[in-house]
Amino acid sequence: MDNPYICVMIGIFDSGTGGMSVYREIVKVLPDEKYVYYADNAHCPYGEKTVSYIQDRARHITDTLLGRGADIIVVACNTATAAAIAMLREEYAPMRFIGMEPAVKPAALGTRSGVIGVLATAGTLKGSKYLTTRGKYEDDVRIVEHVGSGFVELVEQGKLTGAEVEDTVRRSLQPLLDEGADTIVLGCTHYPFLMETMQKVAGPDIRFIDPAPAVARQLVHVMEEESLPIGQDSFSMELISSGDPEPLRRIYEMIGG
Ligand code: DGL
């Protein structure tokens, strides 16, 4: 049978602008696709919300993305992946969803001190996906965790550097450094936007791991597996915000969109 797809629409969503850190890696490997990005900033942050709240939002967003023509969806949010990806895969089968993976493995392989830090939201750290991953590596390395308190709010406000950002970042990062972590996993897609400040606070010897490039590779892999055509059309992007469109527009421009 002929492949029914002429071109592919990739749907991406997050509680807000954080998923743009994943999109910027995706567009490097898939520059000629059609994209629709949904920022649920009227309901952001997701970090402390209940699983059923996030699942309801994930259903609503998925319906919107499908209505826009999405053929495959990237859940560019660790918290939504933890709370909702299993449900989405079940309820919307055979639609393919790509989720965020906590990058504990590369951190465990790369640490010299034997201590790795994980910065994420409370929802992600409680989720079974993270706990299972953690369980695989905790015999080999010591894993210490901290919620990046206030990080999401700063990124949504477009505050990425400066004294206030440094103070906020230090409060969550310092406990991990005090425990001897030399490698820090970024378990929330908003956090890479604070990289410059995090590196400044932690110093040059600390390595941060952003899982976004691996998620972009996984998307390509799944598209190939599904025989979805790649690079058949010219690039386009539709930005959707459930709240104020300004934060998403600002970050999109910042990453050169
Ligand atoms: N960017 C999200 C994540 O990766 C959500 C953060 C939030 O809304 O609390 O977890």
> Which pLDDT belongs to residue 228?
92
What average pLDDT score do residues 165-188 get?
98
Q: What is the pLDDT of residues 132-173, one digit of tens each?
A: 999 999 999 999 999 999 999 999 999 999 999 999 999 999
Question: Global pTM?
Answer: 0.96
Domain boundaries, the chain: 9-100+212-254, 104-209
Q: Ligand 1 within 6 A of 45 CB? A: yes
Taken as a whole, the chain contains a residue count of 257
Q: What is the pLDDT of residues 106-120, one digit of tens each?
A: 999 999 999 999 999
What average pLDDT score do residues 243-253 get?
97
Q: 104-209: what CATH class? A: alpha beta
What average pLDDT score do residues 216-235 get?
93
- CATH dotted code for 9-100+212-254: 3.40.50.1860
Q: Ligand 1 within 6 A of 17 CB? A: no
Q: What is the pLDDT of residues 90-104, one digit of tens each?
A: 999 999 999 998 899
Residues of the chain with pLDDT > 90, as a percent, come to 93
Q: pLDDT tier at 1 (50, 70, 90 boundaries)?
A: very low
Pairing outcome for strands 34-39 and 72-75 = unpaired
- Calpha distance 249→60 (Å, rounded): 22
Amino acid in the structure at residue 61: I
Residue of 46, 75, 119, 185 with the most ligand 1 atoms within 8 Å of its CB, for mutation? 46
Strand 34-39's sheet: what is its strand order?
96-98, 72-75, 9-14, 34-39, 236-241
The alpha helices in the chain, defined as continuous H runs, are 20-29, 51-67, 78-91, 104-110, 122-126, 128-137, 151-156, 163-178, 195-202, 212-225, 246-254
The answer to whether the beta carbons of residues 100 and 22 sit under 8 Å apart is: yes
Nearest atom, ligand 1, residue 82 CA: 10
Amino acid in the structure at residue 53: Y
The two domains 9-100+212-254 and 104-209 share their CATH topology (first three levels equal): yes
- Return the closest-CA partner of residue 116 out of 94, 144, 155: 144
Query: What H or E segment, with its residue span, contains residue 31?
Result: none
Mean pLDDT, the chain, whole residue set: 96
Give Cβ neighbours of residue 33 (< 8 Å, ≥ 6 apart): 7, 8, 9, 10, 230, 231, 233, 235
For residue 44, indicate whether it is catalytic. Answer: no
What average pLDDT score do residues 200-224 get?
97
For residue 188, indicate whether it is catalytic. Answer: yes
> Which pLDDT belongs to residue 5?
60
Q: What is the pLDDT of residues 13-46, one digit of tens each?
A: 999 999 999 999 999 999 999 999 999 999 999 9
Rounded to the nearest whole angstrom, what is the distance from the C-alpha of residue 120 to the centroid of ligand 1? 8
Rounded to the nearest whole angstrom, what is the distance from the C-alpha of residue 237 to the centroid of ligand 1? 22
